[in-house]
Structure formats: structure tokens, C-alpha cells
Amino acid sequence: MNPNTIRAMEPHTRMRFHFAWSSFSRIYGVDHVSTDMVDFCYEWALQGEVAPLDCLNHTDRYFRELWKKQLNDWN
């Protein structure tokens, strides 16, 4: 996903995308967030699912578990 695509997103979707992406960058490090992870963040941002907001550790665990489930679904 390129920066122009991100800028073209609806503001609410862009905010959700960055929220999800920030979790992946905390978990794996900015340099290790793959294009598949970015695409996953975009797909999550389009849905109405709500991530836990009480603690960043819970948020990161939530996204890690969703990501692991996605990887299992692809295999």
C-alpha cells in the first residue's frame, strides 16, 4: 500500500488503519511490518470490529492473535 492510497482513505478508515499498524509496529518493529501485515491492517480498518482500548498490551495481543489466525487460515 503506498502513501497516496493511505491519504485517499476516508478519515475514519485511515485512523483505524494507523491504529492497527501502530500495534504491528510495536509488536514486530517498524522495519519488520510486512506488506501482508499492512494489507491486513487495511482490511481490519474497513470492518467494524472494535479492538480492546483499555491497555496497549491487550490491544497488541488482540492484533497478534488476529494475525496468527489469519496466517493459519492462509495455510
Predicted TM-score (pTM) of this structure: 0.88
Residue 16: C-alpha distances to residues 9, 73, 74 (Å):
10, 23, 23
- Alpha carbon dihedral 70, 62, 42, 34, in 10-degree steps, equals -70
Identify which of 43, 51, 45 has the alpha carbon closest to the alpha carbon of residue 73: 43
8 Å CB contact between 37 and 67:
yes
Check pLDDT > 80 for residue 17.
Answer: yes
Q: Where are the domains of the chain?
A: 12-74
* Residue 27 pLDDT: 96
**With bands split at pLDDT 50, 70 and 90, how would you rate the model's confidence at 3?**
low
**What is the pLDDT at residue 47?**
94
End-to-end CA distance of the chain: 23
